[in-house]
Amino acid sequence: MQDESRSISENSTWGIRRRFEQGKLHINHNKFLGYDKDEEGNLVINEKQAKIVRRIYKDYLDGKGPNRIARELEEEGVPNWNGKPKWYESSIRKILSNEKYKGDALLQKTYTIDFLTKKRAVNNGEVPMYYVEESHPAIIDKEMHTAVQLEMERRRAFAEKYNISKLDYATVDNPFAGRIICGHCGSTFGRKVWNSTDERLRRVVWRCNKKYETKGKKSCENKHINDKVLYQAFVNTFNAMVENKEYFMEKWKEGLKSDNLLKRYKARQFIEILKDAKIVEEFDVDMYFRIIEKMTVFDGKKIIVSLLDSTEIEVAI
């Protein structure tokens, strides 16, 4: 009985592999956002869900973190693939890296290890994998999909360089988290609230995380900075871009020719933003996340604002 079951399973596994090799696909996807299956088992775009997938990709390239994307979808009651308005940071990350959305398929990501219980395991090379391009209609074009993978890598490298665990956790209320860098020692700045019984005296300041270093090491002497100055630095930066629009437009038009698809995407996005932009007076948090990489603070005298198109603008304070 057991032998029989095993040989049937092995046969069917072999059969599935054969079909992969012949390019006849059976994608093990039963349910995932953006696609339905037709009677023959082909993936067809579910337009209503595809809209949500496109929004998630765009939100990410607009500088939002996966946790914020998940929270906003929940707050708006947007249904996931199972019809429930429940979203997790981890599932947003999976959607952002899934090659299926650009029309490709990686087959045999998992394989059967126990033929009786049908237990499956992640395939780390134990059985062959097949990568099939353009196996079904794409929801995200290849350029945008690649731009997202490069942006993930950019954020990972940034977080590693500055030793930040919460880069993607900056929020509308705390947009500077992980993005203010010390011009003296290269460490990040942390947020401190100076409380007072008098509400008018309550202040939020940012100061170098190495200001009070552990014994034996010299502490950093960089001055703290009031968060109002940081908000103003964004306003000044944006207005400097508006005032020098021609200069920047030329630069971004060059960026459109870049081989790097993230640079190309950002160049197009910056052109779109600045095309009709006017001088602003107030901080705009969505714009901030779209264009700012980091702000480096030098001794309470100046801030160098680094934009996501790799421009740097110096702001006197």
Task: Report the interface residues with Zn ion, using CB under 5 A.
Answer: 182, 184-185, 187, 208, 210, 220, 222
- CB 41, min distance to Zn ion, A: 58
Q: Which is nearer to Zn ion, 52 or 220 (CB)?
A: 220
Q: Which is nearer to Zn ion, 94 or 161 (CB)?
A: 161
- CB 234, min distance to Zn ion, A: 21
- CB 220, min distance to Zn ion, A: 3
- CB 297, min distance to Zn ion, A: 9
Q: Which is nearer to Zn ion, 207 or 263 (CB)?
A: 207
The beta strands (E) that lie in the chain are given as 35-37, 43-45, 105-107, 110-114, 119-122, 130-132, 180-182, 189-194, 203-208, 225-226, 292-298, 302-307, 312-316
**Residue pair 287/273 in contact by the 8 Å Cβ criterion:** yes
Q: Which is nearer to Zn ion, 269 or 296 (CB)?
A: 296
- CB 219, min distance to Zn ion, A: 8
Q: Please state whether beta strands 35-37 and 43-45 pair in parallel, antiparallel, or not at all (unpaired).
A: antiparallel
Q: Please report where in the chains the tokens 């039963």 appear, as a residue.
A: 30
Q: Which residues contact 299 (CB under 8 A, 6 or more apart)?
A: 183, 184, 222, 223
Q: Which is nearer to Zn ion, 91 or 226 (CB)?
A: 226
